[in-house]
Each structure stands twice: as structure tokens, then as C-alpha cells.
Amino acid sequence: MSRIALVTDLGSSDLGPDVTELARHLARCGFALTTVIAESDAVLVWADRPPAPDLLESLLDRAAAGVPVLLAGPTAAAYADVPAVVEAAGIVPGPMTPVHETRLRPGPAGAAVTKRLPGDVLITDRWLSLEKVRDDVEVLLTAMSGLAAHAVMTWRPATGVGVFSIGTSAATIADQSFRLLVQRWLRHALAIAEGSPIRIGVLGYGAIGHEHNQAISRVDGLSLSAVCDQNPARIDAARTLAPDVAAFANGEDLLASSDVDLVIVSTPPSSHAEWALRAIAAGKHVVVEKPFCLTTAEADEMVAAAESADRVLAVYQNRRWDADYLTLKRLVRSGAIGEPFHYESFVGSFAHPCNYWHSDEEVSGGAIYDWGSHYLDWVLDLFTQPVADVTGSAHKRVWHDVTNADHSRVGIRFADGVEADFIHSDLAAAMKPKWYVLGTEGAIVGNWRHERVIGRNNVGNLVEDRLAASESPALLSLHAPDGSVTAVRSVTPPPEPFHRELADRLLTGAPMSVTPQGSRRNIAVMEAATISAREGGRPVTPL
């Protein structure tokens, strides 16, 4: 584990807390943080003033000893008039740019730093332009200023000094892509290379298995090596994308394969815990389909097993990156409606539920666990404060050929008084908005779209297919206290975000957005809501 000395020498700016949060992120990436420069394997400097003589001497001594010294954010400008630093970095400083949207692109030596990033990184910041760099300086990232591409991230192996001139604002330092770039800059300077691609086996190859297969094929560092399913047609479907994939009909054979590093458990929910624990015991990393499992006891056992075995455990919360949810989250986080205090969400229609295991309470966990796996995950991602109690209700009135409830409601009361409600109904002749969120300075409404796909049949006649509302992202609008309403443009989701994060987690140690602890919290709420519904709606505190 590499030891990183973080030097924060901030006199006039208020970036200290933000840099501290970045340091915590680096610790989650597997770096050990220290305050002792002399005991470090690399030094990361965030400063807004020239170095004191003793600090300058310490930094140059470490660089001369072969220890990387990386100057980040405002440090580049603060040290621009220090000849010894400029010479060691191999740069010719230019002027500071104004604050503007900056498009970061890989430089000639930036392949490892930008690996798996889905295109350019957009950052709104100001930065010190570098007019020139010496021939022996590796340019890892560039940004345009005027008509010229300026180096903004560098590394000079001969002297052990690097510069990353982006990072002068709190918003930039909090940006996940920026944090990922800092982590990779450190790894590059420390010559930490990625391991071999992660070989993945899929246990149960249904529709979601094909989604995994497509994503794996598009993400550098992942490969599909095996599929286990008792249906030969599904094996054939997998081989349309991965022709050389090994096939198994028995799950134990998949777990025993030495060609599988990670298992995706895509079996029905009632068996998630059993298969995940078997896979961990077999030495595999594990991704579990949602819901994580059916009880908090199962979740705790899985988390403990993964931690004990030093295995990665994750839940495929794919809808965490839905365009409409990302847009809602951005609005709430930006303060567009002030402090949110009331949240409602809805999914459903008046229609017979599916006749697959999703509608069997014993296998699926019940209606609350079905769409609730997504909708309640959104609630708990948006509101991170402690949950005080949960209430639930369920109706069984029309669809008696399946065991899931026809209509269910979950109410969450947070410790600070914020309330969130979720309704899933197969008896809704009139639909509510997907989202209705009230804040102290406005509201957000997410209205369903009712779309039709128009095509032709095999003889050329017009065919219309009406999509279920849940298959289209909602249309969000922002409501102001004066009654004005503004349509909100949706955020564009990144491609294969979960699988890119998975590869980064396994190959570089970067943390994932979806954590086992967060998924466990979702199970605790759904379990509490199920108990409450069974017991007449009494408030239940999640375990």
C-alpha cells in the first residue's frame, strides 16, 4: 500500500475541507495517507501561496530521492515564481485563464490516466496555462485555451515532479471524474500498472445477462469468459456477442472454474444470498442482481463474507444512472428547490402483472422488492440521512392468480423529518406523476411519457407498439414559488457506468457509487416495509 503525504498549504482559499474529502477518497482507493513527508512514497501538494523555505527543501529532497512530488490545483500558480520548482517540473508557466468550461483530453502519454473514461472530462475552473514543457516531460492531459492545446497534467520522471493545474474550486475537487484523474495521476507517477483483465462468469443468462454481456464487451479491462444456464438457447444468445465463452449447466462447475475471477449472480432473488456466499467461498468477486437479497440478515452475512475474504461485492443498481433520475438528483443537489422535505414516487398502471417469478412473493420477496429495488434505491441515494421509521401497506383485490400484492405503498420518515412515499400499483387506472418533490423554494414534477413505436410488419402494413410508461424517462419540470414552470433538459448518462466503475474498482481500487452498505440499507427499508404491511401499517425501524 503506497503512502501518500498530503500537504495542504492554503492561506487565502477555503479549499481545506474539500481537499480533506479528496484525501478520504484516495484512502478508499487503497492509498495510505500520512502527514510525514519523509515517510511517504509520494507527495501531493495543494497550496495557494509560495512554499516556505523548509517546505521547499523537503519537497525537492523527496523528488531528488525518487519520490514523486505532485503539485495540484492552485499549487501550480502559487509555485510559478519559484525557479527551483519550475525547473524541476520542466515547464514554462503562462497566464491564469478565466473561469470557464474546460474540456480535458488525453495528452500523448495519457492513455493510462484516461482509460475507461467515456470521452472528454468537462470541468468549470480556472487554471495556470503552461506555455511550454521540456521534451522529457510526459503530457498526460491537455485543455484548449484559444487555439492552443495546453498541458494541464504532467509528469517528469527524470526529476520526479508533476503538475495538475486544474482544481482551484470546491466544485472541481468534488467532481468524481476529477477525483478519478487525481488517483490515476498518482498511480502513473508511482508506476502502478493495472493487472490482467477481469474474467467474468454469468450465473443465469436471461435478458439482464445479455445487458451485462454487451456492457462487458465495451469496457476495457473486462471479459466474459463463462456463462451458466440450463437453457441451451440462452447459451447460444450469449455466444452471439462472446463466441468463445465457456458454457456450464451447473452453477458449482462455474464456481470451480479457474478461468473466472468474478461471478454475476443473476438468479431469482430468493437464491441471491446462497449463490453469492458460495461464489465468495470459491474465491470469486461477486456482482449480485437487484434486489441484493431478501433480508438484512442475508445482507450482513454477504458483506461480512466479502470483507473477510477481501473480495469485491457489488449490486447491479443499473437504474442509478437513468437519465431522468440523474436530472432529478442534479436539481436537488444544486439547491434548485431549496431544502427538499417531501418526496413522492409512483410506478404502475391498471394491468395484469407478469406471470414470471417477479410476481411470486416467495421468490421475489413481494411487490415492494420488485420496483422498490430501484425506486427506494433512488430515495436512499438522494436522502442520505438516517431513517427513523418505515410504514407499508399492501392490497390484494384483483389479480389472484399471482401472489404479489396488487398495490403497495412504502412510507419513509427520516430522522430530520423529511418524508418519502413510494407507490407501486397494478390497479392504477389513473397514474400519478413518477416524481413529485417539494422543497422550501420550489418543486420538481416528473410526468410520465406515453410513447408509441411505429414500424411495419412483414407485409409492409403499419404497426404501432405502445411502450409502457416505465420504459421511457420522465419529463421533468421545475416549479417556482411564483407559479412559473420550466421544462428541464435531461442529463445524458455515461455509457456503461456501472461496468466502468466495476473495472476501475477491481483494477485500480477506485470506489464504486453503489456500495454493499448502501444496498444493505435498501434491503433494510424494504424488509421493514414488508413487516409493517403484514402488521397493519405500524411504523417499523429498519435494522
Question: For residue 12, is pLDDT > 80?
Answer: no
Question: For residue 34, is pLDDT > 80?
Answer: yes
> What's the pLDDT tens digit per position in 432-479?
999 999 999 999 999 998 877 788 877 777 787 777 777 889 999 999
- Percent of the chain at pLDDT above 70? 100
- Percent of the chain at pLDDT above 90? 90
Strands of 38-90 (E only): list them. 42-47, 69-72
The dotted CATH code for 198-319 is 3.40.50.720
Domain positions in the chain are: 3-189, 198-319, 320-534
pLDDT for 463 equals: 81
Mean pLDDT of the chain: 95
pLDDT for 11 equals: 82
pLDDT for 234 equals: 94
Print burial letters for 339-375: b (CB count within 10 Å at least 16), e (below 16): ebbebbbbbbeeeebeeeebbbbebbbbbbbbbbbbb
Binned at pLDDT 50, 70 and 90, residue 146 comes out as confident
- The sign of the torsion formed by the CA atoms of 326, 327, 330, 332 equals negative
> What's the pLDDT tens digit per position in 498-514?
999 999 999 999 999 99
**Main-chain phi, psi angles of 152, to 5 degrees:** -120, -15
Secondary structure class of 101 (helix, strand, coil): strand
Q: 320-534: same fold as 3-189?
A: no
pLDDT for 457 equals: 79
Binned at pLDDT 50, 70 and 90, residue 417 comes out as very high
Q: What is the CA radius of gyration of the chain?
A: 26
**CATH architecture of the region 3-189:** 3-Layer(aba) Sandwich (3.40)
Average pLDDT over residues 199-205: 97
H/E segment holding residue 453: strand 452-456
Q: Which is higher by pLDDT, 207 or 107? A: 107
Binned at pLDDT 50, 70 and 90, residue 394 comes out as very high
Most distant CA pair in the chain, distance: 83
Three cell numbers at 44? 501531493
pLDDT for 471 equals: 80
Of the candidate CATH numbers 2.60.40.420, 3.40.50.300, 3.30.360.10, 3.30.70.890, the domain formed by 320-534 belongs to 3.30.360.10
pLDDT for 357 equals: 85
> What's the pLDDT tens digit per position in 238-265?
999 999 999 999 999 999 999 999 999 9
Count CA within 13 A, CB hemisphere, residue 265.
Answer: 29
**Main-chain phi, psi angles of 349, to 5 degrees:** -170, -170
Print burial letters for 172-191: b (CB count within 10 Å at least 16), e (below 16): bbebeebbbbbbbbbbbbbe
> What's the pLDDT tens digit per position in 276-303?
999 999 999 999 999 999 999 999 999 9
AA identity, residue 222: L
